[in-house]
A and B are shown apart, each in its own frame.
Chain A
Amino acid sequence: MKSNAMPSLASIGRFWLPVLALVVPLVLIVVVTGQFGGLSLQRTVVEMLISIVIVVGLYVFVGNSGIISFGHATFMAIAAYGSAWQTCCEMLKPITMSGLPHFLRDQSIPLLPSAIVSVLLAGAAAFLTGLVIMRLTGLAASIATLAVLFILNVVYSNWDSVTMGSASIVGLPTYVTAWLALGCAVLAIVVAYLYQISAFGLAIRATREDEVAAAASGISLYWSRLIAFTLSGFLVGLGGVLQAHYLGTVSINNFFLGFTFLALAMLIVGGMGSLAGAVVGVVVITAMVDIFRRLEGGISIGGQQWSLPAGTQELIIAAFMLLILVFRKDGIMAGREIALPQQPQREKGLING
Chain B
Amino acid sequence: MANIVQVLVDAIALGSLYALVALAIGLVFGVMRLVNFAQADYITIGAYALVVPTASVTPPLLLGALPAAVMIGGVLLVVVVLALLTERVAFRPLRNSNPSTLLISSFAVSYFLQNLVMLIHTGRPKSVGIGQSLANAVEIGGVRVPGVQLLTMVVTAGLLVALVLFLKRTPLGVQMRAAAENFQMARLLGMPANRVIALAFAISGLLSGAVSLLLTIQTGTLDLRMGLMPVVYGFFATVIGGMGSLPGAALGGFLVGVASVLLQTYLPADLRPFRDAGVFTLVILILLVRPQGLIVTSAAKERV
CB distance from B92 to the nearest CB of A (A): 10
| Contact A147/B108 with A68-B100, A155-B277, A318-B115 known, Cβ cut-off 8 Å | no
User: Which residue of B is nearest A152, CB measured?
Assistant: B277
Q: Which of A67, A132, A151, A211 counts the most chain B CB atoms within 10 A?
A: A151
Partner of A140, one of B116, B276, B287, B302: B287
B residues 14-73 in Cβ contact with A at 8 Å: 35
- Separation of A63 and B114 alpha carbons in the complex (Å): 27
A residues 246-287 in Cβ contact with B at 8 Å: 257, 261, 264-265, 268
Residues of A within 8 A of B115 (CB): 311, 314-315, 318
Residues of A within 8 A of B90 (CB): 322, 326
User: Does residue A144 face the partner (Cβ distance < 8 Å to B)?
Assistant: yes
User: Does residue A169 face the partner (Cβ distance < 8 Å to B)?
Assistant: no
Majority SS at the chain A contact face: helix
CB distance from A148 to the nearest CB of B (A): 8
Q: Mark B210-244, 1 if CB is under 8 A from A, else 0.
A: 00000000000000000010001001100100010
User: Does residue B140 face the partner (Cβ distance < 8 Å to A)?
Assistant: no
Partner of B108, one of A133, A143, A312, A321: A321
- Separation of A275 and B111 alpha carbons in the complex (Å): 25
B residues 50-105 in Cβ contact with A at 8 Å: 90, 93-94, 97, 99-101, 103-105
Residues of A within 8 A of B100 (CB): 66-68, 138-139, 142
Question: On chain B, which size bracket covers the interface?
Answer: 35 or more
Q: Mark A310-338, 1 if CB is under 8 A from B, else 0.
A: 11101101110110011001000000000
Q: Does B104 contact A264, Cβ atoms closer than 8 Å?
A: yes
Q: Which of B274, B275, B277 counts the most chain A CB atoms within 10 A?
A: B277
Q: Does A137 contact B291, Cβ atoms closer than 8 Å?
A: yes
Q: Which of A140, A143, A211 counts the most chain B CB atoms within 10 A?
A: A143
CB distance from A332 to the nearest CB of B (A): 15
| Contact A133/B112 with A138-B99, A143-B235, A315-B119 known, Cβ cut-off 8 Å | no
CB distance from B197 to the nearest CB of A (A): 16
User: Does residue A136 face the partner (Cβ distance < 8 Å to B)?
Assistant: yes
Residues of A within 8 A of B277 (CB): 150-151, 154-155
| Contact A158/B291 with A150-B280, A315-B119 known, Cβ cut-off 8 Å | no
- Separation of A30 and B292 alpha carbons in the complex (Å): 49
- Separation of A322 and B236 alpha carbons in the complex (Å): 25
User: Does residue B143 face the partner (Cβ distance < 8 Å to A)?
Assistant: no
User: Which residue of B is nearest A322, CB measured?
Assistant: B108
Q: Which of B94, B101, B115, B232 counts the most chain A CB atoms within 10 A?
A: B115
User: Does residue B283 face the partner (Cβ distance < 8 Å to A)?
Assistant: yes
Q: Mark A107-143, 1 if CB is under 8 A from B, else 0.
A: 0000000000000000000000000110111111011
Residues of B within 8 A of A265 (CB): 108
Residues of B within 8 A of A135 (CB): 288, 291
User: Does residue B137 face the partner (Cβ distance < 8 Å to A)?
Assistant: no
Q: Mark B267-278, 1 if CB is under 8 A from A, else 0.
A: 000000111110
Q: Does A311 contact B108, Cβ atoms closer than 8 Å?
A: no
User: Which residue of B is nearest A325, CB measured?
Assistant: B105
Partner of A139, one of B112, B243, B274, B281: B243
User: Does residue B207 face the partner (Cβ distance < 8 Å to A)?
Assistant: no
Q: Does A325 contact B119, Cβ atoms closer than 8 Å?
A: no
Q: Does B104 contact A309, Cβ atoms closer than 8 Å?
A: no
Q: Does B109 contact A136, Cβ atoms closer than 8 Å?
A: no
User: Does residue A212 face the partner (Cβ distance < 8 Å to B)?
Assistant: yes
User: Which residue of A is nearest B29, CB measured?
Assistant: A139
B residues 281-296 in Cβ contact with A at 8 Å: 281, 283-284, 287-288, 291-293
User: Does residue A214 face the partner (Cβ distance < 8 Å to B)?
Assistant: no
- Separation of A257 and B284 alpha carbons in the complex (Å): 19
User: Does residue B161 face the partner (Cβ distance < 8 Å to A)?
Assistant: no
Q: Does B281 contact A151, Cβ atoms closer than 8 Å?
A: yes
- Separation of A329 and B97 alpha carbons in the complex (Å): 9
User: Does residue B188 face the partner (Cβ distance < 8 Å to A)?
Assistant: no
Q: Does A158 contact B274, Cβ atoms closer than 8 Å?
A: yes
- Separation of A150 and B283 alpha carbons in the complex (Å): 12
Partner of A150, one of B94, B111, B232: B232
Residues of A within 8 A of B288 (CB): 132, 135
User: Which residue of B is nearest A157, CB measured?
Assistant: B273
Q: Does A154 contact B107, Cβ atoms closer than 8 Å?
A: no
User: Does residue B151 face the partner (Cβ distance < 8 Å to A)?
Assistant: no
Q: Mark A149-187, 1 if CB is under 8 A from B, else 0.
A: 011001100100000000000000000000000000000
User: Does residue B164 face the partner (Cβ distance < 8 Å to A)?
Assistant: no
User: Does residue A22 face the partner (Cβ distance < 8 Å to B)?
Assistant: no
Residues of B within 8 A of A212 (CB): 302, 304
Q: Which 8 A-B pairs have the closest CB atoms?
A: A318-B112, A158-B273, A314-B115, A154-B277, A147-B280, A311-B119, A318-B111, A326-B93
Q: List 29 A-B contacts (CB under 8 A).
A: A68-B103, A132-B284, A139-B99, A139-B243, A140-B287, A144-B284, A146-B232, A151-B276, A151-B277, A151-B280, A151-B281, A155-B277, A212-B302, A212-B304, A257-B228, A265-B108, A309-B119, A310-B119, A311-B118, A311-B119, A312-B119, A315-B115, A315-B116, A318-B108, A318-B111, A321-B105, A322-B105, A325-B104, A326-B94
Which residues of B are in contact with A by a Cβ distance under 8 Å? 35, 90, 93-94, 97, 99-101, 103-105, 107-109, 111-112, 115-116, 118-119, 228, 232, 235-236, 239, 243, 273-277, 280-281, 283-284, 287-288, 291-293, 302, 304
Beyond contacts A311-B115, A321-B104, A326-B94: 12 other A-B pairs, Cβ-Cβ < 8 A, are: A133-B284, A140-B291, A142-B35, A142-B103, A143-B235, A143-B236, A146-B232, A146-B235, A150-B277, A154-B276, A212-B304, A322-B105
Which residues of A are in contact with B by a Cβ distance under 8 Å? 66-68, 132-133, 135-140, 142-144, 146-148, 150-151, 154-155, 158, 211-212, 257, 261, 264-265, 268, 309-312, 314-315, 317-319, 321-322, 325-326, 329
